[in-house]
Amino acid sequence: MGLTGKGFWIWKIPNCESSNVESIANLAQAAHLSHVLVKIADGKRYMNVTTTGTDLVPPLVTALRARGILVYGWHYVYADDVDTPELEAQTAIQRLQGLNLDGYVIDAEVEYRNKAAQARVFMNLLRGALPTLPVGLSAYRFPTWDTQFPWTAFLEKCDFSMPQVYWEGADNPEYQLTRSTNEYLNLTPSRPVYPVGPTYKNGGWAPSSDEITRFLNTARNTLHLASASFFSWDECRRDLPGLWDTIRDYSWDAVPPPEEMPNRLAAALNSHNVDQVAALYGTNPVHVSASRTVQGLDAVRAYYTNLLGTVLPNATFTITGIRGTGNSRHFTWQATSDRGPVTNGSDTLGLMGDQISYHYTFFTPPAG
């Protein structure tokens, strides 16, 4: 089962509620967090272990689990001459086996550029020891900005992605989260997306409570993502307590999965209302058929005006099969109309968030 609901990342336990694990757990419960991610390693070094050797993680895990909160470990990796992928993987394995956590997240960033071989060494060793543990990758928000990063080498052995959607210096969390999600869903392989939002200051910039709410609304209500989390507990509670209150008070109940787009499209077509059909498309969609390719909402409206008024008047559409995941759906369909039936409808949709951005359609029009 994947993550659901709200989560928070902890960097240094001593910076969170003065290391009082009961206070941390009580606050997490009051904020209705479903999961907390705790830093367990940095390169080959253990994290959140004191200079005297006291491991601060186990008592926190116990306190959080007593309140029904999942605990994942996160680990910043480097793959350099000191922190080799072999040593980093060994550290992760030892830490995870010793702590018996619910999952693990790899924080890989600039240091892993052009290191696909090292990423595969790390992932093969990790998965060899922990084949069933939920594992995710947390990296840049826009994969297209860093084509030298070994996305495939990591993701082929990961279960989910946690992009760092930090809109520093901007005020557009909706755009950045939507773009990030779609870019991650276009990666090979594609994995479920659980985005990470910012709750820290950088120079004179900090996200506002309104931006955090818009980020959560976009994740939950627009993109229908199962989960979102924030970095970091340490800085949020210390520097931006208003953001903590915003996240605490945000209700993230279970969201029923959205109806499949092919079914929504069929329902709109059966309404015979072109505006209702066009509302399912993005602002500049591409529509392709055997005879032509058009772009733009006006062209889409014209196509459906002709389809419903001339090609298939008074039609009733029925979906006969759907397949595909992420931002792609292929479906087959049939229709009856005043001109006759269609029995071989076969379409492909490209989705951008909750709207159609690309539509290829094929069918044999009735002869009548």
Task: Tell me the residue range of the domain where 273 lies.
Answer: 261-362
Domain closes at, from 187, 215, 249: 249
Asked whether residue 330 is assigned to any structural domain, the reply reads yes
pLDDT above 90 covers a percentage of the chain that reads 86
Shared-domain flag, residues 202 and 92:
yes
Asked whether residue 120 is assigned to any structural domain, the reply reads yes
Shared-domain flag, residues 201 and 271:
no
Q: What's the pLDDT tens digit per position in 256-300?
A: 556 789 999 999 999 999 999 999 998 899 999 988 999 999 999
Asked whether residue 255 is assigned to any structural domain, the reply reads no
Domain closes at, from 216, 249, 282: 249
Shared-domain flag, residues 134 and 277:
no
CA 249 vs CA 82, 210, 211, 212, 253: distances in Å: 44, 13, 14, 12, 12
Q: What's the pLDDT tens digit per position in 304-318?
A: 999 999 999 999 999
pTM (2 d.p.): 0.72
Asked whether residue 254 is assigned to any structural domain, the reply reads no
What pLDDT does residue 321 have? 86
Shared-domain flag, residues 64 and 142:
yes
What is the Cα–Cα distance from 92 to 77, expressed in whole angstroms?
A: 10
- Look up the CATH number of the domain holding residue 31: 3.20.20.80
Q: Tell me the three state secondary structure of residue 194.
A: coil
Shared-domain flag, residues 231 and 330:
no
Shared-domain flag, residues 80 and 174:
yes
Distance from the first to the final alpha carbon of the chain: 51
Asked whether residue 181 is assigned to any structural domain, the reply reads yes
What is the Cα–Cα distance from 20 to 311, expressed in whole angstroms?
A: 70
Asked whether residue 170 is assigned to any structural domain, the reply reads yes
Shared-domain flag, residues 192 and 243:
yes
What pLDDT does residue 258 have? 64
Amino acid at 21: V
- Report the number of distinct structural domains present in the chain: 2
Q: What's the pLDDT tens digit per position in 220-246?
A: 988 889 999 999 999 999 999 999 999
Domain closes at, from 221, 249, 277: 249
